[in-house]
Structure 1
Amino acid sequence: MDLVIGIGKVLWTLFQVIVLFNILIVVHELGHYWAAKWRGLKVEKFQIWFGKPIWKKKIKDVQWGLGWIPMGGFVALPQMAPMEMLEGKNDEEDSLPPITPKDKIIVAFAGPLFSFGLAFVFALLVWGFGKPVREQLQSTVVGSVVPGMPAELAGVLPGDQILKIDGIKVQNFAGMVDSVLERIIYSEGEEIVLLIKRQGINEPLEIRCGFNREERPAHERQDFRRIGVAPISEAIVDIIISNSPAEKAGLKRGDKILQANGQTLFGREMLSFMIQKMGDDIKPIELLILRGEEKIKVLIVPEVPIQPEENPAMLGLQWQLPPMTIESPGPNPFTQIWNGATAIFRTLSALMPWNDADVSVSQMSSAVGIGKYYYETLSDPVYGWRFAFVLSVLINVNLGMLNLLPLPVLDGGHIVMALYEWIFKSPLNIKLIEMLQFGCALLLISFMVYVTWFDVRDLSSESENPKPIVFSP
């Protein structure tokens, strides 16, 4: 029975993902459709997804259909620039009157406009129902520093508060705009300049830090810049593995570890790093634990588990997930739209060849990756739909902005061609348009296949279940 319930939950979540994902496409295409009807254009087809339709039905001279390639959609408008490669051959045999460049611009811009409008609707939902946030990520205080990484080598310590990165004030540890991780990822040059506030020192300290970036083969998703810092996190015990050092030392679920060998734990990872630094010379660790209202000291000796064999010495426990709270009301809708647009603009800027940031196209997501994010958010039984609303704001802003890029197969390309026609009183040569569209369509399809490859690889790697940790009795 439990198996049936589990399968039912998975299918229901997948159904929600498909519905939500297709709402984004339908609303965008409805913008083109209604604008075309308003301006008196001939509408031949309205299709969700590309490729030969697996379902179609003609209603009032418009063929409504569903394609077999689950990416995007289109409204076939014979009076606009021809798009036969993506939309199929135009079945209109009668000659249609030409339309003005103004009408072309209105119809082309309507799709992105509706995407921005849907983003605003989702932003209103976030504002009204609240935004889920992890408390640990709202601070810029460093919880732990990875041994041997650039941050440790430069002198960053747990408990340091990062004020600025490369002269830009950071607001939180992880977020779309002006967060610690975002500024590190989009940093340029060979050094990252951190301005930090350290306990016991009045004046802020400037620390110049290098970065690490793992070199990976071309068929793998490329790595981001990293300096080796993690956010603050409470070390509260959740699960204790049988026969582990934690069990032998008498630790209990709910215990909060405050200190290790007299050092305050700003982040739970500090314990793992402390054991890592011991190497083969394993020594006992004195823990100060808060159990209820009582503070107690416990001596614990890390051990190497017998399974998996490659695992290092550890305590044999799992931590409680960082607490989640609701920011209510959520952020201002206009702020959400602006932050989403800023994040996308910075990503596109970082991809430009003249930019020195180590950002790659392989780090972007396809429909598969977006679907995966939706699935993960909607799988949360408490905050799922709130997370989905937040994600939908970003995706709709993304959809609107990317469609405004001046490529002939996108809405921005139609606007540019219409502006050319308006200024020079003559449209571009049809053969030239077809060549440009073919080249850009090939480029766009190649891009979608390229990023889909990495998303599929991520799915396959995540499906591997790790071996359970076993300690010697």
Structure 2
Amino acid sequence: MDILMILVSILALGVLVFVHELGHFLFAKWNGVGVIEFAIGFGKPIYQRQKGETVYSLRLIPLGGFVRMLGDDPRDLLPKDPESEEESDPVEAISSEIHPLNIDDSDRSRWFLSKGFCPKAAIVFAGPLFNILFAIFLSFLSFSVFGRPALVTEPIVGATLPKYPAEKAGMLEDDRILSVNGVSVTTWEDMAKSVAQSKGEELVLEIERPAKDPSSPLEHLSIELRGTQDSGELALLSGDDSKSFRIGVLPKTVRKPISIPEAAEASLYHIWRISSLTVRGLYGMIMGQVSTDNIAGPIFIFHQGAEAARTGVDRLIDFMIFLSVSLAILNLLPIPILDGGHLLFFVIEALRGAPVSISLQERAHQVGMALLLLLMLFAVSNDVVRIFGLSGDAQENAAPATNK
């Protein structure tokens, strides 16, 4: 894979992280909260600059970011014990030496946790909100410049879904399906109907594949596979519970020019649809209706971003739209250390009239961190299997394509 495309993918993720943290930063400023540091990335700073009372830093690991605010640690609200200050955590002491406060922390009215429910909730919610707004902007830009995607009625493959029979059999984007079991198909609907009614029996697809060299003749291939009865993932995401058989292909789309008002309307619907599909997917995983093999980690995300960048600007924008919406929704999950976890604590505080105890918050954050680390390890293992093809069932329900 082209190193330049990987760098473009990392930059795209960095832009989305910047937008997310910018939401927190601006709402903190608007609500009178002091901001100590605005950081993109984690780990050791590779660049930092102070402007006003805030340090702006770029860090080594490009997998997130943070906005450090005055009084955002519940322990800051406890009365200071002179003896405990002398025996402070050495890690915090070193951190303070490296990043000394450039802001007066004596005014508690500027502390994050001193604010009421609405300001705190707004500051935390602003990160996901900015990701959604940015996704709407990118969608509007894409529709305005490149046009709105429209399905091609011919049986031409636009994409194959991971781990479905079509991908395992070696079908590729732009393959034209000529016949199913010897019966000619001229529309996508005809092809889909033939597959849906196959009852899991073996299918022989005759396909026409464009050659890599445009001047070369088209390839004619025969592919054998079996449809899979999927009432889980595809059905859940499409809203179809008919339990028909599928091979895991999506139709090709083309871009058609639309007006500015149409682009605005289409962008809102597009983001609503992506959000809905993402929520359905998460719900399906929690309920066991969607395989956890679909969980993607940073390796696969960078890989997909690089592939999108290599394909074209429009595909890269589509990738950023999907990822921006995903970041917003995932951050709203009620898991401690995520934005949704903070919001949950604020709601509990508002209902009971007192904040959750510091010890309980610390334990919850430790559990949340452990869960995220385990999820990250699982996602990375999925990435390795998905990208490097280490899955043992790679040829299940499929036979290799043969030239004719």
What is the TM-score normalised by the length of structure 1?
0.56
Whole-Å separation in 1 of the counterparts to 2:69 and 2:282: 29
Whole-Å separation in 1 of the counterparts to 2:137 and 2:278: 19
Question: Residue 254 of structure 2 aligns to which amino acid in structure 1?
Answer: T
Q: How far did 1:36 drift?
A: 0.1
Whole-Å separation in 2 of the counterparts to 1:83 and 1:397: 33
- Counterpart of 1:364 in structure 2 is 295
- Counterpart of 2:118 in structure 1 is 102
Question: Residue 67 of structure 1 aligns to which amino acid in structure 2?
Answer: R
Aligned to 2:108, what secondary structure does the other structure show?
A: coil
Whole-Å separation in 2 of the counterparts to 1:401 and 1:228: 40
For residues 294-329 of structure 1, the C-alpha deviation after alignment (integer angstroms, 9 at most, x for no partner) is: xxxxxxxxxxxxxxxxxxxxxxxxxxxx98733333
Matched, 1:235 2:252: no
Question: Judging changes above 3 Å, is the alpha-carbon distance between structure 1 residues 237 and 351 closer, same or farther for their aligned structure 2 residues?
Answer: closer
Matched residues, number: 313
Whole-Å separation in 2 of the counterparts to 1:29 and 1:14: 23
The answer for unaligned runs of 5 or more in structure 1 is 1-6, 148-154, 164-171, 174-179, 181-195, 199-204, 211-226, 241-251, 257-267, 275-321, 463-473
What is the TM-score normalised by the length of structure 2?
0.65
Matched, 1:423 2:337: no
- Counterpart of 1:254 in structure 2 is 217
Question: Judging changes above 3 Å, is the alpha-carbon distance between structure 1 residues 369 and 426 closer, same or farther for their aligned structure 2 residues?
Answer: same
Q: Does the CA-based 8 Å contact 1:145-1:156 persist in structure 2?
A: no
Percent identical: 23
Which has the higher mean CA deviation after the structures are superposed, 441-450 or 17-26?
Answer: 441-450
Aligned partner (choices 9, 12, 26) of residue 18 of structure 2: 26
- Counterpart of 1:351 in structure 2 is 285
Q: Does the CA-based 8 Å contact 1:131-1:387 persist in structure 2?
A: no
- Counterpart of 2:255 in structure 1 is 326
Question: Judging changes above 3 Å, is the alpha-carbon distance between structure 1 residues 446 and 96 closer, same or farther for their aligned structure 2 residues?
Answer: farther
Question: Residue 124 of structure 1 aligns to which amino acid in structure 2?
Answer: F
For residues 119-154 of structure 1, the C-alpha deviation after alignment (integer angstroms, 9 at most, x for no partner) is: 001110221122567842479xxxx9999xxxxxxx
For residues 355-386 of structure 1, the C-alpha deviation after alignment (integer angstroms, 9 at most, x for no partner) is: 4x2511x3221222111111111112xxx100
Question: Judging changes above 3 Å, is the alpha-carbon distance between structure 1 residues 105 and 363 closer, same or farther for their aligned structure 2 residues?
Answer: same
Question: Judging changes above 3 Å, is the alpha-carbon distance between structure 1 residues 67 and 138 closer, same or farther for their aligned structure 2 residues?
Answer: closer
Question: Judging changes above 3 Å, is the alpha-carbon distance between structure 1 residues 102 and 358 closer, same or farther for their aligned structure 2 residues?
Answer: closer
Matched, 1:373 2:373: no
- Counterpart of 2:28 in structure 1 is 36
Whole-Å separation in 2 of the counterparts to 1:113 and 1:229: 46
For residues 422-460 of structure 1, the C-alpha deviation after alignment (integer angstroms, 9 at most, x for no partner) is: 222211111111111111012112212321233245444
Aligned partner (choices 413, 432, 436) of residue 364 of structure 2: 436
Query: In the TM superposition, what are the counterparts of 1:56-71 in structure 2 within 5 Å?
Result: 56-71=48-63
Q: How far did 1:417 drift?
A: 1.2
Question: Judging changes above 3 Å, is the alpha-carbon distance between structure 1 residues 442 and 82 closer, same or farther for their aligned structure 2 residues?
Answer: farther
Whole-Å separation in 1 of the counterparts to 2:139 and 2:75: 33
Matched, 1:453 2:381: yes
Question: Judging changes above 3 Å, is the alpha-carbon distance between structure 1 residues 206 and 442 closer, same or farther for their aligned structure 2 residues?
Answer: closer
Matched, 1:338 2:272: yes
Aligned partner (choices 10, 13, 16) of residue 8 of structure 2: 16
Question: Judging changes above 3 Å, is the alpha-carbon distance between structure 1 residues 132 and 385 closer, same or farther for their aligned structure 2 residues?
Answer: farther
Bigger-Rg structure (1/2):
1
Q: Does the CA-based 8 Å contact 2:334-2:341 persist in structure 1?
A: yes
Aligned to 2:361, what secondary structure does the other structure show?
A: helix
Question: Judging changes above 3 Å, is the alpha-carbon distance between structure 1 residues 236 and 27 closer, same or farther for their aligned structure 2 residues?
Answer: closer
Q: Does the CA-based 8 Å contact 1:46-1:76 persist in structure 2?
A: yes
Q: How far did 1:392 drift?
A: 1.5
Whole-Å separation in 1 of the counterparts to 2:307 and 2:128: 26
- Counterpart of 1:466 in structure 2 is none
Q: Does the CA-based 8 Å contact 2:158-2:252 persist in structure 1?
A: no
Matched, 1:121 2:121: no
For residues 76-119 of structure 1, the C-alpha deviation after alignment (integer angstroms, 9 at most, x for no partner) is: 123335599xx976866647341111111000110011000110
Whole-Å separation in 2 of the counterparts to 1:255 and 1:363: 34
Question: Judging changes above 3 Å, is the alpha-carbon distance between structure 1 residues 157 and 423 closer, same or farther for their aligned structure 2 residues?
Answer: farther
Question: Judging changes above 3 Å, is the alpha-carbon distance between structure 1 residues 60 and 228 closer, same or farther for their aligned structure 2 residues?
Answer: farther
Whole-Å separation in 2 of the counterparts to 1:235 and 1:448: 40
Query: In the TM superposition, what are the counterparts of 1:393-404 in structure 2 within 5 Å?
Result: 393-404=321-332
Aligned to 1:332, what secondary structure does the other structure show?
A: helix
Aligned to 2:35, what secondary structure does the other structure show?
A: coil
Whole-Å separation in 2 of the counterparts to 1:229 and 1:112: 45
Q: How far did 1:397 drift?
A: 0.9
Instruction: Indicate the structure with greater helix content.
Output: 2
Aligned partner (choices 144, 147, 151) of residue 130 of structure 1: 147
Whole-Å separation in 2 of the counterparts to 1:145 and 1:460: 14
Whole-Å separation in 1 of the counterparts to 2:17 and 2:42: 12
Whole-Å separation in 2 of the counterparts to 1:158 and 1:75: 59
Question: Residue 96 of structure 1 aligns to which amino acid in structure 2?
Answer: R
Question: Judging changes above 3 Å, is the alpha-carbon distance between structure 1 residues 55 and 420 closer, same or farther for their aligned structure 2 residues?
Answer: same
For residues 19-70 of structure 1, the C-alpha deviation after alignment (integer angstroms, 9 at most, x for no partner) is: 2221100011000000000000121111111223333332212122223332
